[in-house]
A and B are shown apart, each in its own frame.
Chain A
Amino acid sequence: MLEIKNLHVNVDGREILNGLDLTLPQGEVHAIMGPNGSGKSTLAYVLAGKEDYEVTAGSVTWNGEDLLAMVPSDRAVAGVFLAFQYPMEIPGVATMTFLRTAVNAVRKARGEAELSTPDFLRFVREKAAALKIEPDMLKRPLNVGFSGGEKKRNEILQMALLEPSLCVLDETDSGLDIDAVRIVAAGVNALRSPERAMLVITHYQRLLNYIVPDRVHVLSEGRVARSGGPELALELEETGYAEFGGEAA
């Protein structure tokens, strides 16, 4: 269970999160919606542990552990996974090398045996095929020259390989055409399980047609302004974010 209590976060001296409360039980998928500037991406980065995001008050615990006290790599080991809105390009690091380094780092830290090369390759190929990722893509430098869709599929591949228990998806649908949204959503849905909680951050309701959430929370000015069932997303599609201090969606 993810428990966020009274979270206040400053970025460059400006308060972006302003007393945010959120509870996400194991096995559930919650959507975070809201107008631009409401603090959605800040929440994602704070959960993953990015520097320069100063927590001035509040707490975040994951299964009772204090997430805020951990460095980013320890959060990953504890099960937190952030699918980036803008995945980084790293020339000089082959995608496969990166995947293997990450998987083995996490396995090692979790006290599991590192995967042998053949076992790892089998593991990756199987997960990659499900996401329609060509083997050739894995030989290329990480995300370099990848299309928007390829980058997002690569994020979901990493999510599948690292087997996290808390998945945070930051605007995973942005910049994707409808076919790409379907592939990515299918990849995410395949990972839904009673042991896994997901936070799906999105500006638009479209993604939620494919990843149907248990709960929807609307952020406004750095806190949860309203919560409801999946129907809340549909309602926002009609009315826009005007009542939450944003422009029409």
Chain B
Amino acid sequence: MDLPVQQFRTKAEQAYLDLFEAAENALPGARDSFVAGLRANAIETYGRLGLPHRRIEAWKYTDLRTRLTDVNPLGKGEGVAVSEAALSGALGAELANLPAYRLVIVEGDLRADLSDLAGLKAAGVEAVSLARALEKPPAWLKKALAQINPRDDDAMIALNTALMTGGVGLQIGNGVILDKPIHLIQLDGKGDPASIFTRNVVVAEPGSAATVLESFGGLGLHAPQRNAVTELRIGAEAAIKHFKVQRERDDAFHLSTWLVELGPDARYDAFQFSTGAALARNQVYLHFAGEGAAADISGAFLLRARQHCDTTLLIEHRVPHCTSRELFKAVLDGESRGVFQGKIIVSPGAQKTDGKQMAGALLLSETAEFDSKPELEIFADDVICGHGATSGQIDEDLLFYLEARGIPEEEARALLIQAFVGEALERVEDERLRDALGSASAAWLGISPSD
């Protein structure tokens, strides 16, 4: 139990309260009692918890109370011109051009002109602008918003609920099997620094199957501060692949939370890839609500200079016969810091749980740091759970082997780094997406992708 030790509010802490007070009456859904109630409740939770700090175990390595000193004003993405060239610039051409149902969200504003809403509707997916839907939420959204794997102990989720300005709501119909991914392109705007609070709610009805790709990039906004939450409910026997690609500016603050609930015999395959932001925190809270479900949450992050990236997972096995897998790879150069915290909780009665996690880091400099904290809390007696962590430098013997075959040292190093990341990328089944991530890794390494 973490005791409240907050004595005073920091400037940033207070700034969020001020932001809410100033914007409250203009936020989407201000006149809807359900939405206004959610927001009021959330800001109260935030006020009670304050910004997370290092004495809270889950935030041990990412002390927002210290690191967040200034808070940007709320961003409004309306009217920002977005060209195809700008999309390619923000995400890389391969990713931007991936065949998909594209939904483009600029600072929370779902841009109908750039989005394939009609295509999604024809394919059996109800897609709505969250900003608009909050004004008068449809019944399905009311049953999902802030209710999928909800938490009352996370100040940053509460802050998102209080201040969410937009995003998308997706309802994937019963038995609908999509032929191509839904690509949520989430951009920051241009010009002045802004705080961006986006919220996506995805409900996959029973028996449906879809890929949801969330990509984050910048159009040129200085030091954007993003707090993005995606709620995802996966119904019985539904199968969802969920990807995240984060290539934001190196001065960005990026906080992302996925709240996931799996129904019986559901399947969830998630992969997170991250090279951007000065400070990034990727949280995934997942719980198994029905027997026989399986989840794989994997990812890779590549950091340099003074970048900080924290991946924190909480997997809760509340019912028997579920399987969870995690594999994360970190490449750390310069004075960067990578954090991996993976917690698996197996409730009493969640027998036959099978949970495994693995995290590995490749340190390219003497000053890079990797903190790995696996935690298993097991309250059932017939389970298989395990974890592992590795951390090391490039193997000189492997390097020599490649050099002895005529591959110059720099290229050989890059190949070994790609190989390290490649072990995680193998989890991505979609070949085009895997190639796009491979190219993104190559771009990070400063090498042009091979044809």
- The answer to whether A and B belong to the same complex is yes
- Tell whether A178 is near chain B: CB-to-CB under 8 Å: no
- Tell whether B381 is near chain A: CB-to-CB under 8 Å: no
Known: A91-B419, A92-B419, A92-B422. A84 touches B401 (CB 8 A): yes
Q: Are B406 and A106 within 8 A (Cβ)?
A: yes
Q: Which of A73, A90, A158 contacts B408 (CB 8 A)?
A: A73
- Tell whether A87 is near chain B: CB-to-CB under 8 Å: yes
Q: Are A73 and B398 within 8 A (Cβ)?
A: no
Q: Are B420 and A82 within 8 A (Cβ)?
A: no
Q: How far is the CA of A49 from the CA of B406 in the complex (A)?
A: 12
User: Shortest beta-carbon distance, A18 to chain B, in Å?
Assistant: 24
Q: How far is the CA of A77 from the CA of B409 in the complex (A)?
A: 13
**Cβ–Cβ < 8 Å partners of A101 in chain B:** 407, 411, 415, 450
CB nearest to B420 among chain A residues: A92
CB nearest to A75 among chain B residues: B404
- Tell whether A51 is near chain B: CB-to-CB under 8 Å: yes
Taken residue by residue from 387 to 420, chain B's Cβ proximity to chain A (1 for < 8 Å, 0 otherwise) reads as 0000000001110111111111101100110111
Q: Are B419 and A93 within 8 A (Cβ)?
A: yes
Q: How many residues of A contact B (CB 8 A)?
A: 29
Q: Are B405 and A102 within 8 A (Cβ)?
A: yes
- Tell whether A27 is near chain B: CB-to-CB under 8 Å: no
- Tell whether B366 is near chain A: CB-to-CB under 8 Å: no
CB nearest to B412 among chain A residues: A73
- Tell whether B451 is near chain A: CB-to-CB under 8 Å: yes
Q: How far is the CA of A15 from the CA of B420 in the complex (A)?
A: 36
Q: Total number of A-B contacts with CB less than 8 angstroms? A: 80
Most chain B beta-carbon neighbours within 10 Å: one of A73, A82, A84, A101: A73
Q: Are B419 and A49 within 8 A (Cβ)?
A: no
Interface residues in A16-65 by Cβ distance below 8 A to B read: 48-51
User: Shortest beta-carbon distance, B95 to chain A, in Å?
Assistant: 21
Interface residues in B406-451 by Cβ distance below 8 A to A read: 406-409, 411-412, 415-416, 418-423, 426, 450-451
Q: Which of B405, B422, B426, B451 contacts A76 (CB 8 A)?
A: B405
Q: Are A73 and B403 within 8 A (Cβ)?
A: yes
**Cβ–Cβ < 8 Å partners of A82 in chain B:** 404
Q: How far is the CA of A20 from the CA of B372 in the complex (A)?
A: 50
**Cβ–Cβ < 8 Å partners of A50 in chain B:** 400, 404
Q: Which of B400, B406, B451 contacts A162 (CB 8 A)?
A: B406
CB nearest to A82 among chain B residues: B404
- Tell whether A72 is near chain B: CB-to-CB under 8 Å: yes
Q: Are A77 and B404 within 8 A (Cβ)?
A: no
- Tell whether A105 is near chain B: CB-to-CB under 8 Å: yes
**Cβ–Cβ < 8 Å partners of B402 in chain A:** 90, 98, 102
Taken residue by residue from 84 to 120, chain A's Cβ proximity to chain B (1 for < 8 Å, 0 otherwise) reads as 1001101111000010111001100100000001000
Known: A90-B416, A93-B415, A93-B419. A73 touches B409 (CB 8 A): yes
CB nearest to A107 among chain B residues: B406
Identify whether the interface residues of B are mostly helix, strand, loop, or mixed: helix
User: Shortest beta-carbon distance, B249 to chain A, in Å?
Assistant: 29
User: Shortest beta-carbon distance, A215 to chain B, in Å?
Assistant: 25
**Cβ–Cβ < 8 Å partners of B412 in chain A:** 73
Most chain A beta-carbon neighbours within 10 Å: one of B401, B405, B416: B405
Q: How far is the CA of A93 from the CA of B418 in the complex (A)?
A: 8
Q: Are B404 and A51 within 8 A (Cβ)?
A: no
Taken residue by residue from 171 to 196, chain A's Cβ proximity to chain B (1 for < 8 Å, 0 otherwise) reads as 00000000000000000000000000
Q: How far is the CA of A80 from the CA of B411 in the complex (A)?
A: 19
Q: Which of B409, B419, B451 contacts A90 (CB 8 A)?
A: B419
- Tell whether A129 is near chain B: CB-to-CB under 8 Å: no
- Tell whether A242 is near chain B: CB-to-CB under 8 Å: no
Q: Which of B409, B411, B422, B451 contacts A93 (CB 8 A)?
A: B422
Q: Are A73 and B406 within 8 A (Cβ)?
A: yes
Q: Are B422 and A72 within 8 A (Cβ)?
A: no
CB nearest to A116 among chain B residues: B451
Q: How far is the CA of A79 from the CA of B144 in the complex (A)?
A: 66
Q: How far is the CA of A171 from the CA of B177 in the complex (A)?
A: 56
- Tell whether A71 is near chain B: CB-to-CB under 8 Å: yes
Q: Are B423 and A91 within 8 A (Cβ)?
A: yes
Q: Are B419 and A76 within 8 A (Cβ)?
A: no
**Cβ–Cβ < 8 Å partners of A109 in chain B:** 406, 408
Q: How far is the CA of A98 from the CA of B398 in the complex (A)?
A: 12
Q: How far is the CA of A17 from the CA of B423 in the complex (A)?
A: 40
**Cβ–Cβ < 8 Å partners of B407 in chain A:** 73, 101-102, 105
**Cβ–Cβ < 8 Å partners of A158 in chain B:** 405
Q: Are B451 and A117 within 8 A (Cβ)?
A: yes
Q: Are A49 and B404 within 8 A (Cβ)?
A: yes
Q: Are A76 and B411 within 8 A (Cβ)?
A: no
Q: Which 5 pairs show the lowest CB-CB distances between chains A and B?
A: A92-B419, A76-B406, A92-B422, A106-B406, A72-B403
A-B CB contact pairs (8 Å), 18 listed: A49-B403, A49-B404, A50-B400, A71-B409, A73-B403, A90-B398, A91-B419, A92-B419, A92-B421, A92-B426, A98-B415, A101-B415, A102-B406, A106-B405, A109-B406, A109-B408, A117-B451, A158-B405
| A73-B405, A102-B406 given; 8 more Cβ-contact pairs under 8 Å | A49-B403, A72-B400, A72-B403, A76-B403, A90-B398, A93-B418, A101-B415, A106-B406
Name B residues whose Cβ lies closer than 8 Å to a Cβ of A: 396-398, 400-409, 411-412, 415-416, 418-423, 426, 450-451
